[in-house]
Amino acid sequence: MRGLIGKYIRFNLAAAMEYRVSFVIQVLGMALNNSAFIFFWLLLFDKVGDINGYGFTEVMLLWSLAAAGFGFNEVFLGNGRYLSRIIYQGELDVYLLQPVPLIPNILCSRMNVSGWGDLAYGIILFLLSQELTPLWIFLFAVSCVLAALLFSSINLFYHSLTFYMGNGENLASAAYNMVLTFATYPGTIFKGASTWIMHTLLPAALVIWIPTELILHFSLSRALFLLAGDGILVATAYLLFKGGLRRYASGNRMGTRL
C-alpha cells in the first residue's frame, strides 16, 4: 500500500507540475488567502482582548493545525470529496477492478493543488507563531496527520450516504465545510447542544479543538481519549462505506483513468 500511495503522490505531482505557473499561482494564492485571517484575528483581539481563554497565539495554533491538516488531506487524500460523484456516475467500477486496497486507492488518486498552499501556510504559521519545543513540534506533526485522516473520514462517511439515499453530494460538501468553519473558531465560544454536535456529527472538536488543547496542555489520558474518539470516527466511516458498497450496482460504464 505504501508503494501505491507513493506512486500516486509522484504521478499527481508530476501532473500538477505540467502547469507550473498555475501551480505556483494556486499555492501562493491559497497561502495569501489564508493569511487574510491573521489580520482578522489581529484586528479583533486588538479591540476585544481575550475570547473565552483564547488569545491571538492560541487562535493561530488552531489555524495552523486546521490549515495544515486540511491541506494534508487535500494534497494526499484529495479524492474524498468527489466520492459521491464517483458513486452515482458508476465510476467506482474502475477502482473495484484494481488489485489494490479500495479506500486508499480512491482517496489518494487525486491531488488538489491549492491544498499545497494550505499545508505550507499551516506549517509556516506554526513555525512563526508558536513555541518550537520538540514536544510541540511532535504533537503538531501527529495532529496534522490525524486531522487529515479525520477530514477524509468525514468525507468518506457523508459521501457514503450516496449509496443509501441517492445523491448525497451537497450534504457531504456542506458537512465538510461546516467542520472546517467550526474548527477555525475557538471551541469555547460554543455552548449547549451545539457542542454535542461538534463532538459527533460535525466533529470539529476531534479534528482541531482537542488536539489544540493537547498541544497547549498535554495530558496522556486526554490523548488516549482523543485517539479512541478518532478510532470510532474512522471505523464508523469505514463500516458505512463497506455497507454501502454492498448496495452498489455497476453502471456498466466504460471508462479510462489517465
Contacting residues toward other proteins, per CB under 8 A: 19, 21-22, 25-26, 28-30, 32-33, 36-37, 39-40, 43-44, 46-48, 51-52, 114, 170, 174, 177-178, 181-182, 185, 188-191, 194
Cβ neighbours for 209, distance < 8 A, ≥ 6 positions apart: 62, 183, 186, 187, 198
Beta carbon of residue 253, minimum distance to other proteins (angstroms, whole number): 24
For other proteins, give the closer residue by CB, 149 or 172: 172
Do the Cβ atoms of 65 and 156 come closer than 8 Å?
Answer: no
The Cα–Cα gap between 86 and 80 comes to 10
Beta carbon of residue 40, minimum distance to other proteins (angstroms, whole number): 5
Beta carbon of residue 91, minimum distance to other proteins (angstroms, whole number): 22
Identity of the residue numbered 103: I
For other proteins, give the closer residue by CB, 38 or 245: 38
For other proteins, give the closer residue by CB, 37 or 225: 37
For other proteins, give the closer residue by CB, 4 or 197: 197
For other proteins, give the closer residue by CB, 129 or 188: 188
For other proteins, give the closer residue by CB, 157 or 176: 176
Task: Give me 82's grid cell.
Answer: 468527489
C-alpha torsion 141→69→46→188, nearest 10: -100
CB burial of residue 52 (10 Å; 0-12, 13-18, 19+): exposed
CA distances, 90 to each of 28, 41, 87, 107, 168 (Å): 35, 44, 5, 16, 14
Beta carbon of residue 181, minimum distance to other proteins (angstroms, whole number): 6
Beta carbon of residue 213, minimum distance to other proteins (angstroms, whole number): 17
Beta carbon of residue 118, minimum distance to other proteins (angstroms, whole number): 12
